[in-house]
Amino acid sequence: MVRYEVTIFHRILDILLLVCAWSIVLGIFLTASQHFNIQNNSTQVRVLLRSPQDKADNRSGVNKVSQDARIVRNSKLPNCLIIGFSKCGTLALRGFLSLHTDIVSPQREIRYFNVFYKRGLQWYRNQMPPSSEGQITLEKTPSYIMSAEALKRIYQFNSSIRLIIIVRDPITRLQSLHAHMFQGMPKSSKVPSFREWCGGRARTARVVRVADYAHPVGNVFKLFPRHQVLVLSEESLEQNPLRVMREAERFLGLKSSISKTDFVYNEPKGFYCFNTSSRKYPKIVKSVVLNEKTGCLGSGKGRKHPDIDNSLLKELVDIIRPYNERLFSMIGKRFKWKNFEAM
């Protein structure tokens, strides 16, 4: 009886050992096949980019649709951000930079660091266009600079990221904002005049919220070293986009690839627009919302600004000038702003 029980016990032990051994073999097999699959996938992506045409297409961002779907895995998180300021030419700046063969950029403002942060980094990455090794991924959300919290998040995300800031004559920025908020509203709606909108007795506080660049730029400099931050002006971008592109290329450590034939001055629009016959134009059409026929940014850019009477102008200059001076001493350069030069 005892012998019989011992035999049964040995049989059960044998079965258990056999099961264990099979589990180990199966485990090894599954890990190996997974590993093989990953290797295989990345090889697939690399092989896709191997032919000279593929490489050229990918560098210029002109990927065929069928390839796009597969290369999308290759999207990278941004290593350069345009963080502000709204109404200061941020779209033109991002668009013109997208002319560079080594820069890719999503079409929309992603607002990850201030609005959609909870969606996580994988979501943020998924918003980026595909890029090849060595290309810079550039995202622009002009409201980042107005949030100290967003700036901290950017620092935590990548403390060596490159940041671009663009500013503009603050009084023109006020006019631009007014036009943005009220132009195209139905005649029946009560639109405040520019003077009313600038505020009555509470004018200073109202105006300073828009016109003080020094405070938000100071928040950037509290976190990031100066050499990682480029401050540009809308006026230079508007008058000489090529010169601004050269400055940005140097800042990003890129060889110059944007040329004067990439832009054309469009008389009716009153701005430089993309040259529709440039070989880079198909890439631009994918990354910037524009009028495809003219190559100019849409009607939301270059609106007619409200007039300012002389007494209001003088008042605004007196309020704003000290803030400009703070900005200039902080960034170590001055911008010639016509509203302030004249007074």
Ligand X SMILES: Nc1ncnc2c1ncn2[C@@H]1O[C@H](COP(=O)(O)OS(=O)(=O)O)[C@@H](OP(=O)(O)O)[C@H]1O
Instruction: List the x/- string, 47-86, binding to ligand X by CB under 6 A.
Output: ---------------------------------------x
- Rounded CA separation 9/215 (Å): 80
The residue count for binding ligand X (CB under 6 A) is: 19
SS3 state of residue 273? strand
Instruction: List the x/- string, 197-236, binding to ligand X by CB under 6 A.
Output: -------------------------------------x--
Q: Is 262 in the site for ligand X (CB under 6 A)?
A: no
Nearest to ligand X by Cβ — which residue?
176
Q: Which residues contact 320 (CB under 8 A, 6 or more apart)?
A: 170, 171, 207, 208, 211, 212, 340
Left if phi > 0, otherwise alpha if psi is -120 to 50, otherwise beta: which for 186? beta
- Rounded CA separation 337/317 (Å): 11
Q: Is 301 in the site for ligand X (CB under 6 A)?
A: yes
Q: Are 104 and 48 a contacting pair, CB within 8 Å? A: no
Phi, psi of 149 (to 5 degrees): -65, -45
Shortest Cβ distance from residue 184 to ligand X (Å)? 12
Q: Is 297 in the site for ligand X (CB under 6 A)?
A: yes
Nearest CA to 167 among 343, 341, 336? 336
Q: Is 272 in the site for ligand X (CB under 6 A)?
A: yes
Write down the catalytic residue from 87, 140, 280, 283.
87
- Rounded CA separation 217/255 (Å): 28
Scan residues 4-43 and list those touching ligand X (CB under 6 A): none
- Range in contact with ligand X (rule: CB under 6 A) among 33-41, 50-58, 182-190, 300-308: 300-308
Shortest Cβ distance from residue 111 to ligand X (Å)? 12
Q: Is 321 in the site for ligand X (CB under 6 A)?
A: no
Nearest CA to 152 among 113, 179, 123, 185? 113
- Range in contact with ligand X (rule: CB under 6 A) among 40-48, 124-132, 195-203, 295-303: 295-303
Instruction: List the x/- string, 163-182, binding to ligand X by CB under 6 A.
Output: -------------x--x---
Compute CA 267 distance to the chain's CA centroid, rounded to the nearest angstrom. Answer: 28
Shortest Cβ distance from residue 272 to ligand X (Å)? 5
304 labelled as ligand-binding? yes
Instruction: List the x/- string, 115-154, binding to ligand X by CB under 6 A.
Output: ---------------------------x------------
Catalytic annotation present for 333: no
Q: Is 87 in the site for ligand X (CB under 6 A)?
A: yes
Shortest Cβ distance from residue 174 to ligand X (Å)? 10
Q: Is 91 in the site for ligand X (CB under 6 A)?
A: yes
Q: Is 162 in the site for ligand X (CB under 6 A)?
A: no
Q: Which residues contact 45 (CB under 8 A, 6 or more apart)?
A: 70, 71, 73, 74
- Rounded CA separation 319/174 (Å): 13
| Distance from the first to the final alpha carbon of the chain | 114
Phi, psi of 43 (to 5 degrees): -65, -40
27 labelled as ligand-binding? no
Q: Are 257 and 98 a contacting pair, CB within 8 Å? A: no
Annotated binding site for 3'-phosphoadenylyl sulfate: 168, 176, 272, 301-305
Q: Which residues are catalytic?
A: 87
Rule CB under 6 A: which residues touch ligand X? Answer: 86-92, 142, 176, 179, 234, 237-238, 271-272, 297, 301-303
